[in-house]
Structure 1
Amino acid sequence: MTAVVATPSVTVSGPAFGSTLVGTGRLLRFMLRRDRRRLLIWPLGIALLYAGSLGEYVLLGDEPEAMAVRGTLMRTPGMISMAGPGYGVENYTPGAAVANELILWVVLTLAVMSILQVVRHTRAEEESSRSELVRAGAVGRHAPSVAALLQVLIANVLIAVVSGLVMVAFDFDAAESFTMTFAIALGALVFGAVALVAAQAMEHGRGATGISLAVLGGAYLLRVIGDIQEEHGSVLSWLSPIGWVQQTRVFVDLRWWPLGLCVAAILLLIGLAGVLGSRRDFGAGLVAVRGGRADAAPTLTGPLALAWIQQRMGLMWTTLGLGLMWFASGTVVEAVPDMVESVGDNPVYAAILSQSGDLVRTFLGVFGLYTGLGAAAFGIAMTLRAKGEEEAGRTELALAKPVGRGRWLASGLTWALLGTAVVQVSGVLALWAGAVASGLDEPGFRDYLDLALAYLPALFVIAGLGAALYAWLPRATGIVWVLFTYMFVVGLFADLFDLPGWARRISPFWWVGNPMLDGVDASHMWGLSGVAVALLVLAFVGFRQRDLQST
C-alpha cells in the first residue's frame, strides 16, 4: 500500500497590503521626540515674525496716505520681485499689505524647513547607516518616508494655527487669517514632497537638499518673471506653487480653489516618491553617482583645498540669491523720501527710520543691517560645518592623516570668513547697483563700500563665537543662532521697545551704527576686531584640547 502525502501549495506574492507602512507610528513618535526642540522653536520664531510685522501694518492703517504710497511701491518691478503680484493695491488695506508682503517670505522659510526636515529623516538617515539598523526591525520600506512627511505636516499645521491666532489677536479677520496661514503651510508641504522625491533619486543628503532647494529657487523665479510680465500674474506664475498660494487673494478677493493645485501636487509627488522608493535598492539612489578620479586632483593638496570644495557651491548660490534680492531692493530706494513723508508721526517708522537726518541714507543704513544679517547667517552656517563633519566621522578620518587639528580647523574657518566677507560686500554693492539703475546717484560708490566694510569686524565676531562654541561646547552651538535673532530685534526695534543701553551693546551690530549717517568709528572697529581675534584664538585652543565626538 502506497501512502500519498499531500503537499500544501505555496503561493508566492508580494507584500501584504499595508506591510510597507509597518512601524510608521513608532517612527513618527521617535522623530517628534527627537526634534521636539526644533518643532517648538519654529512656531515661536514664525509667531514672533508675524507679531513684529503686524503691529506696523495695523498702525499704518490709520495713515491712508502712507498706505497709498506703499501700494504704489508694490507696483514697481523691485517690489513685485520681493513680494508678490500686488492684489488690492488700488485700495491698500493692512490685510492686503500683510498678504502681499509676508506670504512669499513665510512660504520660502517654511519650504526650507520642510525640505531640511524631510531629507534629515530620509536620505541622511540612510547615508549614515542608521536606517539600516531601524529597518532590521519590524519597519516597512516606506515607513520612514511617510513618518518624515507626517512630521513636517504636523509642524506646518502647528505653525499655521499659531500664526493664525497671532493675526486674530491683532484684529485681522479670522477666516482670512487662517486661510492665509494654512495656504502657506500647503505651499511649504509641496516642497517637502519635492524633497521626498529627491531623497529617492539622489544617493547623498546634500544632493537631495540641493535639488530640492533648486526647485524652490526655480519656483521663485517663475513667480517673479510671471508677475512682472503681467499684472496679477501671467501663465508662468501658475507654474509656481508659490504663485498658487498668492492666488488665493486673501484679504482682497478670497479664493479657495488654487489650493487644490497644492493638494494635487502633494499627492502626485507622494505617489511618485512611493514608486521610486519601491524600485531602488536600499541605501542607493536612482541617479547614478559619477565616478571619481583614481587619484586626487592636483589642486586638492590639503585641507584648505578640501574646505573650498565643500563651501564653494554654498557661497556661489548665497551670493547670487542675496545679490539679486538686494539689487531689487536698491531700485526702490529713490522712493523712500515720499514714502516716509506720507507716514507722518507713525511710531514704527519713526523708530526704525530716525528722521533726524538724510532719509535715503537712513534707509540705506537699515538695508546695510539686512545685508549684514544675511552675511551673518551664511557665516554661522559655514563655521558650524565643522560640527557636521565631526558628527559624520569625517574629521577623524582627516586627522588620521598627517594633518594637525589647528590646520584642519583653520582651513574651514578661512573660507567661512572670506565667504562671509564676499556675501556682505557683494550684497551692498548689489544694493548700490540697483539704486544707480533707478537713477539715484547719491550716495556714491565709496559710501556703499564703507557701509559694506564697516560690518566685517562684527561679522567676524559672530563667526568667532560660533567657532569657540564648537571648540569648547559643541552641544551649545545653538547659542550663536539665538544671538543672531537678538541682533535682528536690536537692530530694528531697539528704539521702539526702548531697550536700555547695556541690552543694545550685547549686539555686535550695535557697535557698527549707521555708517551712511555717522561714518565709521575706528575705535569700535578695532574693538570688534580684537574680540573676533580673541574668540578665534579661543576656538583653536579649545579644539586642540577636547576629545572628538564619537560616531
Structure 2
Amino acid sequence: MTSTAAPLGASRHTPSMETGPGAFAGAGTLLRFGLRRDRVRLTVWVLALTLGTLATASEYRTLYSSPEERAAAVSSMGSPAALAMTGPGRYLSDYTAGAMLGHQLLGFTAVLVGLMSVLTVTRHTRDEEETGRAELVRSAVVGHHAHLAAALGVAAVANLVLAVPLALGLTTAGIEGVDAGGALLYGLAHTAAGLVFAGVAAITVQITAHTRGASGAALAVIGVAYVLRAAGDVGDDALSWLSPIGWVQRTHVFVDDRWWPLALCLLLAAATAAYGFALSTRRDVGAGLRPARLGRRTASAALTHPLGLALRLHRATLLGFAASLGLMGVMYGSILGEAAGMVKDVEQVQQALAEIGGATVTESFAAMVMTVVAVVAAGYVVMAALRPRTEENAGRAEPLLATGLSRNRWLGSHLAIALAGGTALLVLAGLGFGLSGAASTGDAGLVLELTGAAAAYAPALWATAGVVVLLHGWFPRAAAAAWIVPVYGFLVGYLGPVLRLPEGLRNLSPFGHVPRLPAAEPAWTPLLVLTAVAAGLIALGLAGCRRRDLDTK
C-alpha cells in the first residue's frame, strides 16, 4: 500500500487552488496594512536616501567647481582600483557634477535600495510566518499568494515613491549637467534596482524557514552583484552585464541617458517575482523548501551553556559582517597608494585631511577610512546587542529564564558575543586594509599599523553596546533608537571634516574621542575613559533588566 502523505515542507493544495484568482484574495487589504505598518520606517529610508543624494550632489558641485578640478578628478578616477570602487569609465568622458553622481554614487545607493527592498519583503512574508501571524491571518479569507503579493507591493510602492523626491530634488537643485530627463532616469534607476532585489527576496523567503536566513541569502546576492559590477568595470565588461547594479549604472545617466537597461531590470524583477510565487506553492506555511537539517540526538556541550547558545544564534550575522568588512578593508587598501593623487587638486578634501593630521596624505586618508570601518562594525554591535530584545519579543526568552538561568547570564552571553565579535570585526577589517594597503604602497609596516588603528575603535564599540543595553534595560520599547549612535558617528566623523561641521558635534559621538590613528599620536586616556563609560552603561542596563518585567507572549 503506497503512502499518500505529502513530504515535509510540501503543499497539499492543488495547483488550481494556488494559481486561480482566489490565491490573491485579501492582497489589497494586506498591502494597505503593510504600508501603514511601515509608514515611518519607509519614510525614514526615502528621506535618508534623498537627502544623502542631494547633499552629495551639492558637495560635488562645491569640490569640483572648476574645469581643472574636474580634470584632476578624471585622472584620479580612471585607475582600476578607483573604477572598482565607483563605476564604468564612460562617465569620465563628460565629468560634470551629474556624471559624478552616476559614477560614484549610483552603485552605492543601489545597494542601499536593495537592502531596503529585501528587508521589506522578508518582514512582510517570512517574519510573519516565523512568528505565527501568517497562519492566523490565513485562517480568514486570504489567499495563498496574498502575503507575498502584498510584500512585493509595499516594496514597489516604496521604490516608486523614492524616485519622485530624487527626481524633483535634482531637477530643482541647479546642478551642472543635471536636467529633468536625466534626473527622472536617475530616480527610476533606483526603483528598477530595488524591484530586482525585492524579487530576489521573494525567492529566498521560500527557501529557508527563518527570516535571518532569507535576508542573509538575499543580501549575499546583492554582494555578488556588486562584486560582478566591480570586476566588470575593471576588466571584462561582460561581467558587469551579469549584475543588475551594472545595468543601472550603464544607463550612463547625465552622460548618455540610456533608458533601455532599466527594461532588463524590470524583466528580471518580474521573472524573480513569478518564480517566488511558483515556489510558494511547493511548501507549507512556516516551512521552507530547504529541508531542515537533522540535528544531533543530544545537544552539544556548547549549546547547554548560555554563551554557546548565543554564539550559535549570532553566528550567521557575524560571518556575514566579517565577509563584508574584510572585503571593505581590502578594497579601500587597494586605492591607498593612489590617495595622494586622487585628492591633490581638491582643496576642500585636502583641508579635511589636513585637519585629521598625519605626516602624509596616505595616513590621513587611512584615518578617515577607519571611521567608516568602525561605524560598520558598530552596526553589527547594535544588531547583536538588540538580539535579546528580539528573543524577548518572540517569547523565546521566557522559557529560558524559567530555568535556573539568571537574567544577567542570559543578557551577558549575548553582550559578550556583541563585544568580542565587534572587536574581532575591527581587527579583521584592519588586517585586510593593512595587507591590501601594503601591497598598494609597498610599505609592509602598514599591516600592523592599520590593524592597530582599527582595534583602537573597540572601546567606542563597547560604549555603543552600552547604550543598547541601557535602553533595553530601562526603556525596552525605545531600544531601536540605539541606531542613532553609529549613524551620527558616520555623519560627524566621516562627512564632518568635508562639510566643515563644528568640532563640538564630533565630541558628542563615542567615535569622536578615539585617536585617529595612524595620523594622530596614540593616546590611552580617552580609550580608558570610553571603556569606563561602557562598563557603567552596561551595569546600569543590566540593573534595569533585572528590575523590570519581561514582555511575555
How far off its partner does 1:531 sit? 0.5
Counterparts of residues 306-455 of structure 1 (less than 5 Å): 306-343=309-346, 346-347=347-348, 349-351=350-352, 353-354=354-355, 357=358, 358-441=360-443, 444-455=446-457
Q: Is the 8 A contact 1:157 1:185 kept in 2?
A: yes
- C-alpha deviation, 1:286, in angstroms: 2.1
Segments of structure 1 that go 5 or more residues without pairing to the other structure are: 1-12
Query: 1:8 — aligned with what?
Result: none
Query: For 2:173, which of 166, 170, 178 is the aligned residue?
Result: 170
Tell me the SS of whatever aligns to 2:418. Answer: helix
Give the TM-score normalised by structure 2. 0.92
Q: Which residue of 2 aligns with 1:85?
A: 88
Count how many residue pairs are aligned between Structure 1 and Structure 2: 535
| 2:18 and 2:281 in contact (8 A); partners too | no
2 CA distance for matches of 1:115 and 1:523?
Answer: 42
- Give 1:167-316 correspondences, 5 Å limit: 167-171=170-174, 172-230=178-236, 233-234=237-238, 236-316=239-319
SS of 2:90's equivalent in the other structure is: coil
Which of 497, 507, 510 aligns to 1:508? It is 510
Of residues 477, 494, 500, the one that matches 1:492 is: 494
My pick for the range that moved more, 433-442 or 528-537, is: 433-442
Residues 394-403 or 439-448, more deviating: 439-448
CA RMSD between the two structures: 2.2
**Partner Cα distance (1:397, 1:280) in 2:** 29
> Which is worse superposed, 278-287 or 469-478?
278-287
- Secondary structure at the counterpart of residue 459 of structure 1: helix
Q: CA deviation at 1:125?
A: 0.5
Aligned to 2:543: 541
d(CA) in 2 for partners of 1:304 and 1:442?
Answer: 38
Q: CA deviation at 1:395?
A: 1.0
Cα deviation for residue 355 of structure 1 reads 8.0
Q: How far, CA to CA, are the matches of 1:531 and 1:367 in structure 2? A: 25
SS in structure 2 of the partner of residue 416 of structure 1: helix
Check 1:425–1:64 CA distance in 2 against 1; reply closer, same or farther (3 A cut).
Answer: farther
Mapped pair 1:18 → 2:26? no
Task: Give the aligned residue type for 1:252.
Answer: V
Q: Bigger shift: 18-27 or 351-360?
A: 351-360
- Rounded to whole Å, the distance in 2 between the matches of 1:470 and 1:355 is 35
Checking the alignment, whether the CA contact within 8 Å between 1:114 and 1:191 is kept in structure 2 is: yes
Please report how far the alpha carbon of residue 268 of structure 1 lies from its aligned counterpart in structure 2 after TM superposition. Answer: 1.2
- The correspondence for 1:479, drawn from 481, 484, 493, is 481
Alignment of 1:137 with 2:169, yes or no, is no
Unaligned runs of 5+ in 2: 1-15
Question: How much does 1:443 deviate?
Answer: 6.3
1:42 is displaced (CA, Å) by 0.5
Q: Residue 300 of structure 1 aligns to a residue in which SS? A: helix
| Cα distance in 2 between the residues matched to 1:108 and 1:444 | 30
Which protein shows a greater Rg? 1
Contact 1:351–1:493 (Cα < 8 Å) also in 2 = no
Q: Deviations over 1:132-172 (max 9, x none)?
A: 11111121111111111110111111222122233223322
Change (3 A) 1:502 1:356: closer
Are 1:167 and 1:177, in contact at CA under 8 Å, matched by a contact in 2? Answer: yes
Q: Classify 1:103/1:194 alpha carbon distance in 2 versus 1 (closer, same or farther; 3 Å).
A: same
The residue type equivalent to 2:39 in the other structure is R
SS in 2 for 1:519: coil
Q: Is residue 128 of structure 1 aligned with residue 131 of structure 2? A: yes
Deviation at 1:500, TM superposition (A): 4.6
Q: Contact 2:302–2:309 at 8 Å: present in 1 too?
A: no
Is the CA contact (8 Å cut-off) linking 2:63 and 2:348 kept in structure 1? no
Deviation by residue 1:351-384 (Cα, 9 ceiling, x = unmatched): 3553865322211110111111111111111111
2:84 and 2:498 map into 1 onto residues whose CA distance is 29
User: Do the aligned partners of 1:68 and 1:91 also contact (CA within 8 Å) in 2?
Assistant: no
Alpha-carbon spacing, 1:281–1:517, altered in 2? closer, same or farther (3 Å): closer
Give the conservation status (yes or no) of the 8 Å contact 1:454–1:520: no
Q: Deviations over 1:413-456 (max 9, x none)?
A: 11111111111122122111121111341864443233123211
Alpha-carbon shift at residue 101 of structure 1 (Å): 0.8
What SS is found at the alignment partner of 2:258? Answer: coil
Tell me the CA shift for residue 502 of structure 1.
Answer: 4.3
Shift of 1:399: 1.5
Distance 1:16 1:326 in 2: 47
Question: SS where residue 294 of structure 1 aligns?
Answer: coil
Percent identity, aligned pairs only? Answer: 38
Amino acid aligned to 2:156: L
Partners of 2:214 and 2:235 in 1: CA distance? 32
Give, in whole Å, the separation in 2 of the partners of 1:65 and 1:456.
41
SS at match of 1:270: helix
Letter in 2 for 1:164: A
SS, match of residue 295 in structure 2: coil
Which amino acid in structure 2 is aligned with residue 22 of structure 1? A
Amino acid at match of 2:277: G
**1:245 Cα deviation (Å)?**
1.0
- Offset from partner CA, 1:82-122 (integer Å, 9 cap, x none): 22222222442222211111111111111111111101111
Contact 2:69 2:345 survives alignment (8 Å): yes
Taking structure 1 as reference, are residues 353 and 442 closer, same or farther at Cα in structure 2, changes over 3 Å only? farther
Question: Aligned partners of 1:272, 1:250: CA distance in 2, in Å?
Answer: 31
Aligned-residue offset at 1:519 = 1.2
Q: Partners of 1:224 and 1:116 in 2: how far apart?
A: 24
Are residues 16 and 146 of structure 1, via their aligned partners in 2, closer, same or farther at CA, if it must alter by over 3 Å? closer
| Structure 1 residues 421 and 226, CA gap change in structure 2 (3 angstroms) | same
Provide closer, same or farther for how the CA distance between residues 78 and 16 of structure 1 changes in structure 2, counting only shifts above 3 A: closer
Q: 1:507 is aligned with what amino acid?
A: S
Residues 356 and 390 of structure 1, relative CA distance in 2, 3 Å threshold: closer
- Partner deviation per Cα, 1:35-84 (whole Å, 9 max, x = no partner): 11101110111123213311221123323333233323333332232222
Using the alignment, how far apart are the partners of 1:443 and 1:368 within structure 2?
A: 17
Once residues 336 and 221 of structure 1 are traced to their aligned partners in structure 2, the CA distance between those partners, rounded to angstroms, is 22
